[in-house]
A and B are shown apart, each in its own frame.
Chain A
Amino acid sequence: MSQTAASVHFPNRMDKLIHQFIDTIRAATEDRRRLRIRGGGSKAFYGNPATGEDFDVTGYHGIIDYEPTELVITARAGTPLTEIESTMRAKGQMLGFEPPHFGGGATLGGCIAAGLSGPRRAYTGAARDFVLGLRLLDGRGTDLRFGGQVMKNVAGYDVSRLVTGSLGTLGVILEVSLKALPLPQAELTLACEQQRGEAITLMNAWAGQPLPLSATCHVEKRLYLRLSGAESAVKAAAKKIGGEPVPNAAEFWNGVRDHRDLFFSGDGPVWRLSVASTAAEIDLPGHQMLEWGGALRWLKSDADADSVRKAARKAGGHATLFRRGNRTTGAFHPLPEVLMRIHRNVKQAMDPVGILNPGRMYPNL
């Protein structure tokens, strides 16, 4: 909290930091030196290893503006996620995409640059769905603002959403405005024994009914379901669905969100398959955890990259080598040629010399 107060009271210090950032980027552009943008470092494991000098942006932190009745919070990129979440919780609100932290130091900038979303994703939306606007420095060190602090805005291309999930390859995120959601009045998690195939069918059937779902997960033959909303609605839905209430449910969902769940332990590779929710069970050796109503499949497997990617493709989606494993074929699903060309052009538009996190997402990007 004291950090926020300091940054609000010393805006000059923050302005100075931006000037330093700009100088760093300009100098790097001139010398064609690569920069590896770093927030809290909690997601350093994610994606391909970027090369270059560390460019620490955590100094630029603090909540700038939070107006609960406008459902908008604006904060600097270095602000710890925990600070944002606790500030919002105090006003009865939350980040609707339940972002993974993957460690204590997670910052807002890293959260948006990675663009990852947690258990609530399938039911309330992804990180990019909540981004209303942002300020960033592009690869020339130009200070740019896109979007804004209002819910609806179609002036100009939606650069804010483009930048979300671009892993720092399009610019250094300085500030982000996010849409807030009210905390649900009531929340209840139920669980029951279930085979994986059945679980897929059930999760999809539930999603087709007007039920207050907010998370689903299948792991170790157990299907977990979280209901969020008005007390009455949660109770009525629980009665309809059945299953036993799970104690310490928050602990369970945070474990899933941050990969502290036992499922993620071990030293083998973890794949993330984002697929059609109704896709049949992924037929590969290893262990699986399902989330997002079936649309997210975590796979702990030694299967080779080709087979995993083929399976993901067949299931209508793509596969990411999320943790560990051999990254020689890249962490992310290869793109078709035309799409890759557009990616390169987009990168070129934002970072012409290619100094920002090059290679973190794809080679030459």
Chain B
Amino acid sequence: MKILVCVKQVPERESRFRLDPSGKGYSDQGINFVLNPYDEYALEEALLIRERLGQVEITALSLGPARVEKIIRRALELGADHGAHILTPESYYLGPGETALQIVKFTRERGFDLLFFGIISEDYMRGQTGPMVAALLQLPFATAVVSETISDDLGLITVERELEAGAREVVELPLPAVLTIQSGINRPRYPRLTDKLRARAQKLEVITGLEPLPPGRCAELLRAFFPPPSPAGTFITGALEEQAEKLIRIIREKTDVL
């Protein structure tokens, strides 16, 4: 069995942002980039399937500028067998449709049985790439997957999709299939030293040249901006003791819980 895990590099959660000169996105100067947390769950699920079934080959694929090599190596450290990098120019805006198209091109004639994505990436939070890849390849898919089992003949995958407020839905898909993985499905591992050493030395497959997207398929990005200052919120100032006293007073004024 062959599993493709698409991974994305995103800014660390604690990052502080500035706008880039184009005004359309954030500046990546001084930002520490990491593997998208949701993709970490997707990769872990692929690793668990390999442990369960044996004969499984896992490829980690990422699109992006030169800096994304770091997270492809991270995926190798965590246990992926192969790493592939579709290189894009620096500061190049990739919409979900264009990203999906490149991934589809990559998958051609590679015979993947499962294609895994994180449910969203924490930078643009669109959650579109996985389902778009599935639509382009005419493969069945499921989003927000929180558990999976594969049939003995490797023909079917049964998943639980997360719905609202703790409810779930059981869906059955024939392979090949596309899944987007929700956080909490597993507990991602830490790399082993041997894998770290292997990952450092391993050659990545690098692909250059992007397939153009037909016109009208991509929304036009006009600008990025900071949310307006909070309308209501008041800061409770002072030293710790003073802040605590003030807060108690506020709670007593506004509620009857104290």
A pairs with B: no
The chain A residues found within 8 Å of chain B, CB to CB, are: none
